[in-house]
Amino acid sequence: MSGMPAYEFTLKRNGKLQEALVNYEGQEFSFKFGPYVSAKRISELLPRLVMDNAKKSRRKGAK
């Protein structure tokens, strides 16, 4: 469906670091960002980060 995100994420602040916890097709990814990265910028970066990491995890299982 158009306009629906393919993943869910939550932002968690750990001291000075921000951590984005992403759930994508049953897989969980964690990405860390510095203190000066806005939530809007994180949401712009996440699609690329999620897709790159999902491809890597799929490749590891294939032989």
How far apart are the two ends of the chain, measured CA to CA in Å?
32
Per-residue pLDDT of 19-59, as tens digits, reads 999 998 888 999 999 999 999 999 999 999 998 988 876 66
pLDDT, position 55: 81
Between CA 23 and CA 18 the distance in angstroms is 16
Between CA 50 and CA 31 the distance in angstroms is 9
Global pTM reads 0.75
Per-residue pLDDT of 1-19, as tens digits, reads 566 667 889 999 988 899 9
pLDDT, position 57: 67
pLDDT, position 19: 95
Q: What is the CA radius of gyration of the chain?
A: 13
pLDDT, position 60: 58
